[in-house]
Structure formats: C-alpha cells, structure tokens
Amino acid sequence: MADQTKFCEHCGKPLDGTKRPARRFCDRACSAAARTPRIAKTTRIVLCAYCGKEILATFGRLNQSVSGNVYCNRVCYASSMRTLVTREQLDHWYNELGEDTEQIGRRLEINGRTVRDLMEKHGLHRRSKVEAAIEYERRPFSGNQIEKAYLIGFRLGDLNVRMDLPTSQTIHVRCGTTVAAQVDLIRGLFEPYGHVNTRIGTHGETQVECSLDMSFDFLLPKEDRIPEWVTPNDQWFWAFLAGYMDAEGYIGLIRNKDRRRAVVEIASCQLGILQALWNGLNARSVICPDLHLKRRSGTTDNRGNRHNCDFYVLHISRKASLDTLFREIEPFLKHANKRDAMARAWDNVRERGLP
C-alpha cells in the first residue's frame, strides 16, 4: 500500500491523508497564509507598526487609526505599548515642563497617539483644548482684598475686560494709552499673574494686553456702582478710590488770584460710582461740594471729542480734606505721575497751613 503521508503545503507539517485525501494544509491559518492576497480598490498592503510584517488593511481600518498605525494582531499592539517610560517621567515632561504629547513622542521616538495612550494607562490627566492653547504660564489671583478693591476701581475707570466665549478659560485685559507711566502701572499690576504684551495701535497709542486665568472673573462686571463689600471697610474703600483715581483722577495745582492751590477732581460719566464716592468721602471727613455737571451728552470738548453721556465731576479743594485724602490713599496710589502730582499738591497744602 502506497504511503498516504502528506505534508502541509505551507508549513511542511505531516498530514494524515487517509481521512481526507484532498487535504492540503494543516489548519485554517496555513490555508489563509498560503492564499494569495486579493487587493481590491478599498484595500492595500501595509506594514505592521510593531513587527514590520506585511498585512492587508482596508481603508476603513486605516481611517479608524488616529495615529495612522496598524498592527497585525493584538499581541503586536500590546507590545507597542510597552515603552520604557515611567509615570513620573511623563508627569515631569507634560505638567512641569509643559510639553505636549507630540514633543514627548519625539523624545521617546514614538507617535503622539501612543503617548496619549500611555498617559491614560498611567492615569495622568491631559489638558483640554482650551488649556492646551495657553501659550504663557498664568498664576491665580492672590486673594488679597485690598488688591482686589484697587483692581476693581482701576478696571471700572480705565480697563477693557472680556472673555472671548462663555466656554473660554481666559480673561483678556486691555488698555490703550499714550502715557508711559500708565503702561508701567499695568505691567506692575498684572505681570505677577501672566504675560503682558504691548504693541503700537493704529493712532500711535500703546495697546497693553494681558491674558489672565479665571480667578480674575471679578473684573468682568462693568457696572456703575461700587461693590457692596467695599464701602463698609475703610481700607478697601481707600484702595478702590486709589484705583479709580489712577484711572480717572486729576491731582494738580490751579491758580487762584495770585496764589496756587491744590485740587483733586474725579471726572466721569459713571454717576452712580461718583455719587457713592461722594457719600463715602464725606462720611470719612473728606468734605466735597455737590457733584456738578461739567458737560452734557452730545456736546464736544475743546479737543473735538464728542461726549455720549453726561459728564460729572467730584471736586475736593479744602485743605483739611485734601490732607486727609492724601494721607489715606498714599499707601494705595500706584500711578507714578499721580504720585508725583500728589506730592506737589500735598506740599502746597502744608505750605498754606492747616487749621
């Protein structure tokens, strides 16, 4: 009887030809491996991203791969994830150095998709798209109530504050000025918390811009009033007033007959804030005459600027009141030009003699 032993046409393993004489392969794997791939329009031969073996992949499978990598089986995929990197290294590169997953991937010679999978495996939180778009480091607000009162006063007087979208995590602060001391002041206020950028505007003014985190959301409201928590506390009230004066105040010397005398004026369209300041000052022994209307809405000043609202002035000229005012706001006033003007006005008050 002739020898019925046959061999697998793919791997060479002996086959028992007595039971299935037509059998050519030992199992389905060998049968599939020996079969010539039929490449259709929707498929192509690619290399396994781990072992380099040729595999037949459909365009649908390729499109589903975020990284563009395709693996021949689960073993190769799992092996590709066994990158020699620790959780501490990933945390240091990502959170401390601020690198993104693509930069870390270049360090490890792997793709960014694999880095993201590794971070998920180690339980590391990834930045959101909004957070990833932040270019410069930001630090949260200090929480100091005196500083907060000053910033609110300065904002209501001279700052534009906004958010791009309700979902944004960035508060933009902007101011346009031609005064160098104003630029220095804004830098001093916000550089401890974020990057301050300056550029020249279309009319030759300096545009000062800063991006802050959401702990500065107290700067967003633009209301014609002093926050209720400010007025009862003396320090907070004086800090708010100093901020508002750095934005809207005038301190100077005017000629009265043949003598010069000090005067302070705060001019604004914000009647609610001026009235609240008037009440707070008079309650703290800084006697002010009634607010007076300097210019009505629709009129034009000497420089050709048209006013779209009634323009009111809070005026202080009594020597004792000025002395009290200067003594109280001196620790909080920050504008270099205003501090120089206050020093000259204070000298004038003392030279004229206090009662």
Q: Is 19 in contact with 34 (CB distance < 8 Å)?
A: no
Residue 229, domain member (yes or no): no
Who's near 184: CB < 8 A, 6+ residues apart? 336
For residue 83, the Cα-to-chain-centroid distance in whole angstroms is 34
Mean pLDDT of the chain: 83
Residues 172 and 256 in one domain: no
For 353, left (φ over 0), alpha (ψ -120 to 50), or beta? left
Task: Return the pLDDT at 167.
Answer: 66
Q: Is 3 within the bounds of a domain?
A: yes
The answer on 267 and 347 residing in a single domain is yes
Residue where a domain terminates, one of 219, 252, 280 = 219
Nearest to 199 by CA among 177, 182, 219: 177
Classify residue 285 as left (phi > 0), alpha (psi -120 to 50) or beta.
Answer: left
Distance between terminal CA atoms of the chain?
139
Domain match, 252 and 330 both: yes
Asked if residue 67 is part of any domain, the answer here is no
Q: How does DSSP assign 149-170, residue by residue?
A: HHHHHHHHHH-EEE-SSTT---
Residues 238, 348: one domain?
yes
Q: Residue 246: which residues within 8 A CB-CB, separation 6 or more? A: 153, 154, 157, 158, 185, 333, 334, 335, 338
Residues 282 and 346 in one domain: yes
20 occurs within a structural domain = yes
Both 261 and 343 in one domain: the answer is yes
Number of domains, the chain: 4
CATH number of the domain encompassing residue 185: 3.10.28
SS3 readout for 40-72: CCCEEEEECCCCCCEEEEEHHHHHHCCCCCCCC
Nearest to 307 by CA among 254, 347, 261, 269: 269
Asked if residue 333 and residue 243 are part of one domain, the reply reads yes
Where is the domain boundary, 168, 191, 219?
219
Same domain, 211 and 252: no
95-113 pLDDT, tens per residue? 777 677 788 888 877 777 7
Residue where the block lists tokens 């240091």: 92
Q: Tell me: the pLDDT tens digits for 5-53?
A: 778 887 888 887 677 777 888 887 777 777 655 555 567 777 877 677 7
Taking only Cα atoms into account, the Rg of the chain, rounded to an integer number of angstroms, comes to: 37
Query: What is the per-residue pLDDT for 1?
Result: 44
Q: In Å, how far are 28, 140, 217, 231, 268 from 221, measured between CA atoms?
A: 72, 19, 8, 17, 18
Residue 317, domain CATH? 3.10.28.10
- Does 68 fall in a domain? no
- The first and second tokens of residue 263, run together, are 């005067």
Which pLDDT value is given to residue 119? 80
Amino acid at 41: K
Residue 323, domain extent: 234-352
Please, where are the H alpha helices in 159-233? 180-190
Query: What is the model's pLDDT at position 355?
Result: 67
Domain end call among 98, 126, 154: 126
SS3 326: helix
Closest CA to 224 of 274, 295, 171: 274
Same-domain check for residues 96 and 175: no
Asked if residue 137 is part of any domain, the answer here is no
Q: Is residue 200 part of a domain?
A: yes
Paired sense of beta strands 5-7 and 14-16, if any: antiparallel
Shared-domain flag, residues 198 and 274: no
Q: pLDDT tens string for the chain (355 positions)? A: 455 577 888 788 888 767 777 788 888 777 777 765 555 556 777 787 767 777 777 766 666 666 667 777 777 776 666 666 778 888 888 777 767 778 888 887 777 777 878 788 777 877 665 554 555 577 899 999 999 999 999 999 989 998 876 667 788 899 999 999 999 999 999 999 988 888 888 888 899 998 888 899 999 999 999 999 999 999 999 999 999 999 999 999 988 777 889 999 999 999 999 999 999 999 999 999 999 888 887 777 776 777 678 889 999 999 999 999 999 999 999 999 999 999 999 999 999 887 6
Residue 63 lies in a domain: no
The pLDDT score that the predictor gives to residue 67 is 64
269 and 335 belong to one structural domain = yes
